[in-house]
Structure 1
Amino acid sequence: MSTGVRGTASTTAVATIVLIVLTALALRTPFTAVAPLLEGIQRDLGVSTTFGGVLTTLPVVCLGVFAFVAPRLRQRFGDERVLLGCLVVLLVGNSVRALGPAWTLLAGTVVVGAGIAVANVAVPGLIKRDFAERVPVLTAVHTVCMTLGGALAASLVVPVGRALDSAWRLPLGLVAVPVLVALLIGAAVLRGRPRAAAAPATGSAVLWRVPLAWQVTAFMGTQSSMAYVVFGWLPTMVQARGLSPAAAGFALGVQAAVQAVGSLAVPLLCRRFRDQRGIAVALAALIALGFAGVLLAPAPGGVWTAVVLLGVAQGAAFGLAVTLFGLRSPDSSTTAALSGMAQGAGYLLAAAGPLLIGLLRDLTGGWTAPLVLLLGICAAMAVAGLLAGRPVQLDRSARDASA
């Protein structure tokens, strides 16, 4: 390869990594910013606890519904243009939901969820396309940036709101700022680059008949269900254990921040263990222990320890789930198709988690029944991990299924 070709390839790789990092930093902030502000939103708009439950669950539903359209957009426009388009959608949605009454908050949340859903599906395909030999490492970079962005949002929105004397509108609206920065820098980095070819089509419908694809989907859905229980209910859980509202928001920020530690561990573990079954089961057990500690351990020390444990384990579980898209696929198109299926069906499954936790909390008036449900989801996650973690790929599974 000539020096000029190598230089062009290197520049392209750097530009792709910059786009992945900038997009990731903006993808989780719209979700983690809401839970610490939820009490102020309900009080200011005069809405019910049910509305709060809908507000925290709606993004997860959007992640499921809109994930199904992402592979088609990727095939038509290419990964880079899709990701820049997602940032535009995020900018609009973040701005709209902070402007007006309850309906604009919900409408903006739908727009935000759509942008994040499509980006979530496109990124694994982009990583598989340009970094096929380094899927765990680049996936870790992506997930670490997501968790750090989410942690900053969760930790800062309440102090920023107090400093600006705004219950929720200004701090929620300011979440659009990092999205705008990511959009401007991302567009500048990609300016002048030749337009990447649109992704080739893949027989994504076949995946719905392949057991391995469903096993990856089940692992994605169960770990996501518990993640969104944390996003929606962790502040309420720790306040029930005696922490203040500000400390509860900080706890969510800490939980999100330490997810980076778990995400960084995934490529090291995947490099050492070609078979991911043991990793998946261990993470399910640690998440179960974390939830039990949050609700049962002595406060405040035991609760804070459990928050940290929960964050590390969930960061690793999310990183492993996303990494499985590439490890179980032979090429980037199959990765994107599997990502669309697993995130579409998985997030729709995950949406039931926060709703069921709220329902059980209202029906029983305590946290025992919700904890039992969470432990059951952890058990289901372990079973899914035992199946999805096997060192096989979808091409062989598809041939076996049709044989």
Structure 2
Amino acid sequence: MTSTASVPLPVTVPPPAGRRRVLAAWYVGAGLLLIAINLRMGVASVGPVLTAIERSLHLTPSAASLLTTIPVFAFGAFAFLTPVLTRRVGLHRLLGLTMAVLALGIALRFEPQGWALYGGTVLAGAAIAVANVLMPAAIKSDFAHRVGLMMGLYSTMLFLSAAVASASVVPLMVAFGGSWRPALAFWALPAVLAFLVWLPRALQNPGHVRVAGRNRAADTPSEAGEPRMTALLRDPVAIAVTGFMGLQSLSYYAFLTWAPTVLQDAGVSAHTAGLMLAYSSLPGILTGIAGPAIARRIRPSWVPVLVVVVLCMAGFVGLAVAPAAGAWVWMTLLGLGQGGAISLSLSYIVWRSPDARHTAHVSTMAQGIGYLLAGLGPLGIGLLHTATGGWTVPIGVLLALLVVQGFAGAAASRDRHVLARGAAPDAPTRVSR
């Protein structure tokens, strides 16, 4: 009998083509996450210095809130242009273009003219709007086998970027001699970096296909097989996903805009208020990255929605009752709740869509209509604060809207696809008890 000890074991070496595919996947994933980290910096950096902007430009609270309201409305309004732009430019090239426009819009804040501040805000909002819609579709297309992981990482990058910008903008303002303009314009640099990193992917020419008598980039989706927006607008699953996206965004941007002011009105310094806002993103990172994976396993499916809504409610009640005394507790609760809410809302866009084409259109509807609704948050809370002279009524309205958010999220959590009857084919198996 021949001894097997003398037989050399084969050494498995991945073929060069396989290694290239792995490296390409890592590059695309890193590029997408670098783009994602830019999608909140330009907005989150405004809240901690909003009081300084008010004093510098002699603005009322309502007028100042436009600086955070305009981007959110832009997120909704410009989202509806994304399908048309994607067909003409291509998904990956359009993502690169959004970073160039975002960098320009943020850099305009350095210009001392008032039109530049508000005009740059519109440009930045438009760029983020298109990128917001493209990201779930890109993840569904490029990482269909790792959707849960990538959506968790995507949500994490959103909260991480908000944390970095909120914590750094006041020290930057001090470093720039007390001027808020260069402190806000500084956040154009990460967008430039994302553009440069993504540029090879954006310039990659996959060839052209001929459709309906005209050339179009091969990474551009065709209209064949795409759902009609009119059908989605009547679909209960798409409506629930849109409602949950809009209401959680309204809560988040109202908090992002006015939480530092609530704390400052209670005697907290501007620097500490900015740090607290930044800190709230840290617990949000935990629920953001873990939320989708946990939500796929918990039954009933509405339980994760209930948890994040209750966490947000507890945080807002705390801000209304004892904003300064328990600030760290309230910011922790709000961070946990909002981190989980945004990760769930983005995941529902992907989970309730059977393919990347449906994902793009559900994303357009959910983020377009959702962010138009969300834009009412900062503006409405500012108007209520001006009218009542306090924060009790504005926070009470946010609590009432959280109840509606809970019902929308419960409906969105059901394992169904848009424009289809019955359970989604990829619905998780129920755990037997």
- The question of a shared fold, defined as TM-score above 0.5 by the shorter chain, is answered with yes
Which residue of 2 is the match for residue 222 of structure 1?
A: 247
What is residue 359 of structure 1 aligned with on the other side? 383
For 1:398 and 1:115, how far apart are their aligned partners in 2? 37
2: CA distance between counterparts of 1:398 and 1:164? 58
Match of 1:73 among 76, 85, 92: 85
Q: Is 1:15–1:190's contact at 8 Å kept on the other side of the alignment?
A: no
Percent of matched pairs sharing the same residue: 36
* In structure 1, C-alpha distance between the alignment counterparts of 2:73 and 2:203, rounded to whole Å: 34
Q: Please give the TM-score of this superposition, normalised by the length of structure 2.
A: 0.87
TM-score by length of 1: 0.93
Match of 1:90 in 2: 102
Q: 2:262 maps to which residue?
A: 237
Q: Is the 8 A contact 2:381 2:394 kept in 1?
A: yes
Q: Which amino acid aligns with 1:159?
A: P
Does the aligned pair in 1 maintain the 2:284–2:339 contact within 8 Å? yes
Higher relative helix content: 1
Summarize the Cα distance change of 1:17–1:275 in structure 2 as closer, same or farther, 3 Å threshold.
Answer: farther
Q: What RMSD, in angstroms, separates the aligned Cα atoms of the two structures?
A: 2.0
Q: Residue 220 of structure 2 is aligned with which of 195, 198, 205? A: 198
- The correspondence of residues 1-400 of structure 1 with structure 2, limited to 5 A, is 3=15, 5-188=17-200, 194=206, 197-201=219-223, 202-205=226-229, 206-273=231-298, 276-297=301-322, 299-300=324-325, 302-397=326-421
> What one-letter code is carried by the residue in structure 1 that aligns with 2:373?
L
Deviation per CA, 1:270-290, whole angstroms, max 9, x where unpaired?
331376311112211111111
Deviation at 1:229, TM superposition (A): 0.5
TM superposition shift of 1:46: 2.7
Paired amino acid for 1:30: G
1:280-301 CA distance string (max 9 Å, x none): 122111111111112213733x
- Please list every run of 5 or more consecutive structure 2 residues that lacks an aligned counterpart in the other structure: 1-13, 208-217, 424-433
Give, in whole Å, the separation in 2 of the partners of 1:397 and 1:37. Answer: 49
Deviates more, 1:240-249 or 1:114-123: 240-249
5+ residue gaps, structure 1, are none
AA matched with 1:70: T
Is the CA contact (8 Å cut-off) linking 2:62 and 2:383 kept in structure 1?
A: no
Alpha-carbon distance in structure 2 between the residues aligned to 1:100 and 1:164: 15
Closer/same/farther in 2, CA of residues 70 and 275 from structure 1, 3 Å limit: farther
Could you give the per-residue CA deviations for residues 299-338 of structure 1, whole angstroms, max 9, x where no partner exists?
Answer: 33x2211101101110110011000011000000100100
Instruction: Name the larger-Rg structure.
Output: 2
Task: Answer whether contact 1:274 1:391 (CA < 8 A) is retained.
Answer: no
Q: Secondary structure at the match of 1:221?
A: helix
Contact 2:263 2:324 in 1 (8 A): no
Contact 1:33 1:153 survives alignment (8 Å):
yes
C-alpha separation between the residues in 1 aligned to 2:228 and 2:295? 26
> Shift in Å at residue 77 of structure 1?
2.3
AA aligned to 2:106 is N
Aligned residues: 397
What's the CA shift for 1:5? 4.8
Change (3 A) 1:298 1:129: closer
Partner SS state of residue 349, structure 2: helix
Larger displacement relative to structure 2 (114-123 or 366-375): 366-375
The 1:190/1:103 distance shift into structure 2, 3 A limit, reads closer
Task: Kindly provide the amino acid, as one letter, of the partner of residue 331 in structure 2.
Answer: V
Call closer, same or farther: CA 1:144–1:240 in 2, change over 3 Å: same
- CA 1:366–1:43 in structure 2 vs 1: closer, same or farther (change >3 Å)? closer
Distance 2:394 2:53 in 1: 24
Task: Name the CA distance, whole Å, in 2 between partners of 1:56 and 1:183.
Answer: 24
**Aligned partners of 1:79 and 1:123 also within 8 Å:** no
Aligned letter for 2:315? G
Asked if the contact 1:71–1:122 (Cα under 8 Å) also holds between the matched residues in 2, the reply is no
Q: CA deviation at 1:42?
A: 2.0
Q: Which amino acid aligns with 2:237?
A: L
Q: Deviations over 1:90-112 (max 9, x none)?
A: 01101112212222111000000
- Mapped partners of 2:174, 2:255: distance in 1: 24
Give a deviation string over 1:362-386, Cα, whole Å, max 9, x none: 2222221112101111100101011
For the Cα contact (< 8 Å) 1:37–1:167, is it kept in 2?
no
Of 187-196 and 380-389, deviating more is 187-196
What stretches of structure 1 move > 4 A for 4+ residues in a row? Answer: 188-193
The structure-2 alpha-carbon separation of the partners of 1:192 and 1:386, relative to structure 1 and needing over 3 Å to count, comes to: closer
* In 2: Cα distance, 1:9 partner to 1:76 partner: 27
How far, CA to CA, are the matches of 1:392 and 1:275 in structure 2?
A: 14
Distance 1:310 1:176 in 2: 28
Q: Deviations over 1:238-269 (max 9, x none)?
A: 11222111111111111223321110121321
CA distance in 1, matches of 2:221, 2:338: 31
